[in-house]
Amino acid sequence: MVQYPPKLDAAFGALADPTRRGILERLGKSEAAISELAERFDITLTGIKKHVAVLEAAGLVTTEKIGRVRRCRLGPRRLDDETAWIAEYRRTLESRLDRLGEFLERTREKR
């Protein structure tokens, strides 16, 4: 079984959920309180806290408690490792498709 760095798995796991991607998009505009996110996504406070915890564990979001309010903002991760993995995967697929195209051309020429 192939082993990937835990932070790569955590980031892809966090990004797999559409609500969490939406939270990242929302936080890209400005920071927000947990309650604002819950209202925006029509999710309970408990539910949004769980989503934010997954994003925070992946380093994609940071939170800070100010008084009684927990504020969220984008975290320090820039997804460089994830982008590199996707680019390598794309190169692999394109190489396979190129070889398939070459094979089809060779077999077409033999007819």
Residues 42 and 86 in one domain: no
pLDDT digits (tens, 9 = 90+) for 67-104: 999 999 999 888 888 899 999 999 999 999 989 998 89
Please, how many CA atoms are within 13 Å of residue 67, restricted to the half-sphere of its CB?
2
Task: Give the pLDDT band of residue 26 (cuts 50, 70, 90).
Answer: very high
Residues 49 and 101 in one domain: no
Query: What's the confidence (pLDDT) of residue 71?
Result: 97
Residues 90 and 47 in one domain: no
48: CATH: 1.10.10.10
Average pLDDT over residues 17-32: 97
Give φ, ψ of 87 to 5 degrees.
-65, -40
Residues 86 and 97 in one domain: yes
> What domain count does the chain have?
2
Residues 69 and 97 in one domain: no
* pTM for this entry: 0.80
d(CA 102, CA 55): 43
Which residues span the domain enclosing 105?
78-111
Query: What's the confidence (pLDDT) of residue 7?
Result: 86
Residues 55 and 86 in one domain: no
